[in-house]
């Protein structure tokens, strides 16, 4: 359990330092930035950083118009709307 808590805290820290928590733009923009930057992360981590929390749950990412990200999300088990 401790390992999961540490991972969760690390994700929150990355999200806060990356500016995605209060970001402008689309989910596609944020995901592309996280996957292609110098500090690139996996699709699952990018989804947690770029996702929106409603009632304590992550909502599906809006990946409209980005079929390559939809494929990657599907392979990673990340919820999204096409």
pLDDT of res. 19 = 47
State the residue range of the domain holding 72.
2-81
At residue 36, the 3 state secondary structure works out as helix
Helix axes 27-36, 43-50, angle to 10 degrees: 140
- pLDDT tens, residue order, the chain (82 aa): 555 555 555 555 555 445 444 556 899 999 999 999 788 899 999 999 999 999 999 999 999 999 999 999 999 999 999 9
Give the gyration radius of the chain's Cα atoms: 12
**Cα–Cα distances in Å, from 44 out to 7, 31, 69?**
12, 10, 12
* Cα 4 versus chain centre, distance: 17
Structure tokens given for 21:
């928590």
Number of domains within the chain: 1
């Amino acid at each position: 359990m401790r390992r999961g808590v540490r991972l969760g805290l690390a994700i929150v820290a990355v999200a806060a330092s990356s500016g995605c928590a209060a970001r402008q733009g689309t989910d596609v923009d944020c995901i592309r930035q996280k996957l292609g930057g110098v500090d690139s992360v996996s699709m699952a981590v990018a989804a947690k950083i770029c996702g929106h929390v409603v009632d304590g749950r992550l909502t599906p990412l809006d990946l409209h118009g980005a079929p390559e990200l939809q494929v990657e999300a599907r392979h990673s088990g990340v919820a999204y709307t096409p």
